[in-house]
Structure 1
C-alpha cells in the first residue's frame, strides 16, 4: 500500500508548516507520513518554515535566520492562507515532535546547508534523542554533505537525499551520502529508477503530487512508493 505523506502538514487545507496543518493531517488515520521543513532561528532554535525569507507565509519580512525565536513567535503565520487561521504561529520542531510522536512517520527536511546553519544536525538529533523518536522520523535534505554529517553523528536515523532533476549515478550518490531514501521530484522519477532503488533496499518518496491522474501513475509503479502531496484527500479517494 502506497504511503500517503502530507506535504508541510495538510497544506491544501491549512497554512503550511503550522500546527493547524499538522493537526489536520494527524486527524486522518490513513495519512501515514508527514513532511515538514526545519530551519534555525537566530538564537539556534529549530523552527518550521519553508522559505528562507518570512515574506510569503508570515506577517514578517527578511531572513528567518536574522530573527530570534521570540521575534518569530510574534508573527502571524496563518492569515495569508485564510482569515480563519489568523493567529497561527511559526511552530518549533519540539512542538511538532510532541504532537506527532507515536502517530505517523515525520519527514524532517533540513532547509539548509551545513554552512548556512552550523549545528542544525546536532540540534535536531538532540531533540529526537530527548523525545525518543529516532525510529519515527526521516531526516532529508538537498545537501548531500549535511546528510552525510547526520549519518556520521547517528547511524540509527533514517536519512534521505532530496533531488529535483535526474542526475546520473543516482543510487551511487545515495550510497556515498549514507542515505536510505531517494526523495525525488515526481516529474523526474521513472518506474525503472523507483523499482531499482526499492529493490536495492532504499525507500522512495515522490513529491509533490497533487493531481489524481499523476498519483495513479506513480502508485501503479510499485506499492512501496510513498506519495507526498498537499492534498491527501485526493490520494485517499483513489486508495
Structure 2
C-alpha cells in the first residue's frame, strides 16, 4: 500500500514537474555513439564514480542529478540503484520504501509502472543549488539516455530482476559499458554467467574475513569499503581482481588513502569536491 507522507502541495509539485525523460529503446544506437558505445576500455587509469549521481551534490538516483554529473564531467562513471516494480519493471531507486526520498510512503515493489509515474522525488534541502521535484526514472530510460555515452554502474537491489536487467543491457549493446553490482557473491556468479561486467561490493566488516582471491575468475570489479582496515584493503588489492575501487569516498583524505593503499578507482558522493583538490599521494596513480 502506498501512503501519502506530505499530501499538502503534492498535486502542485506534480503539476510543476518538467520531465526530460526519454522514451523506450528504438532498436538503434544513439547517433553520438559514433562507431560504437563507450566501454570500460576507455576509462582512465583511476576513474571517479558519481555514487547515486553524486548524492552530496545532486538529488540521488534522479535523471536531473545524473544529467548534472554527466555534464560536469568530474566523474567518468555514473552509478545508480535498481529495484523492481510489481509488474517487473526495473526502476532507479535505492530504498525498499518510498518514504525517505519521495512525497509518498510504502513499498516500491507494491507499485506498477502506471503508479510509478505518479511518484515524485523530494530533493534534500541541504543540497547545493536549486532542484525541482521529478519522477524517478526507469532503468530503460537511464540506459537510453546515457548508454554508450559514459560508463554506467547499476546495483541490483532485487536479484529476482537480474534477468530483466540483463536483457535491457544486452539489447542495447552495453555489455562492456555497464557494471552490474551486488553484495552477494552468489549473485555475482549469476551476473558473470549472463555475460555482464560483474561488480561485488563488500563492507568493512565483511572484508575482515573475506578471501577475495576466490572471486578473481568471475569478478571484474571489487568494490571495497573505505572504512576497512589498511590490511584488508591491501589484501583486496592483491587479490588478482583487476579493478579495486573504494566506496564511498567523500573527502580528499579518504581518496588519497585509498590510492596510497593501491586502489585504482574512487566511488564518491562528491565528485566535484574531489576534483577541486589535487591528489597528495607521492607517485599515486590518481595524480
- Per-residue deviation, residues 171-226 of structure 1 (Å, max 9, x unmatched): 144247x22221121111635224303xx24211211110121112112333x621
**Aligned Cα RMSD in Å?**
2.0
* Corresponding residue to 1:210 among 250, 259, 270: 250
C-alpha contact (below 8 Å) 1:210/1:231 kept by paired residues: yes
Deviation at 1:136, TM superposition (A): 0.4
TM-score relative to the length of structure 1: 0.87
C-alpha contact (below 8 Å) 1:55/1:62 kept by paired residues: yes
User: Structure 1 stretches of 5 or more lacking a match?
Assistant: none
Counting matched residue pairs gives: 228
Distance 1:47 1:226, change over 3 A: same
Distance 1:3 1:175, change over 3 A: closer
Confirm whether residue 192 of structure 1 aligns to residue 231 of structure 2.
no
Confirm whether residue 108 of structure 1 aligns to residue 154 of structure 2.
yes
Query: CA separation in 2, counterparts of 1:38 and 1:111?
Result: 6
- Find the counterpart in structure 2 of residue 70 from structure 1: 114
C-alpha contact (below 8 Å) 1:174/1:181 kept by paired residues: no
- Find the counterpart in structure 1 of residue 54 from structure 2: 10
Deviation at 1:72, TM superposition (A): 1.9
Query: CA separation in 2, counterparts of 1:60 and 1:137?
Result: 30
- Find the counterpart in structure 1 of residue 187 from structure 2: 146
C-alpha contact (below 8 Å) 2:99/2:106 kept by paired residues: yes
C-alpha contact (below 8 Å) 2:222/2:241 kept by paired residues: no
Query: CA separation in 1, counterparts of 2:201 and 2:62?
Result: 22
User: Structure 2 stretches of 5 or more lacking a match?
Assistant: 1-44, 279-287
Task: State which structure, 1 or 2, has the greater radius of gyration over its C-alpha atoms.
Answer: 2
TM-score relative to the length of structure 2: 0.73
Query: CA separation in 2, counterparts of 1:227 and 1:142?
Result: 18
Query: CA separation in 2, counterparts of 1:159 and 1:98?
Result: 21
Higher helix proportion: 1
Deviation at 1:46, TM superposition (A): 0.7
- Find the counterpart in structure 1 of residue 131 from structure 2: 85
Query: CA separation in 2, counterparts of 1:40 and 1:18?
Result: 16
Q: Secondary structure at the match of 2:273?
A: helix
- Find the counterpart in structure 1 of residue 39 from structure 2: none
- Find the counterpart in structure 2 of residue 229 from structure 1: 268
- Find the counterpart in structure 1 of residue 175 from structure 2: 134
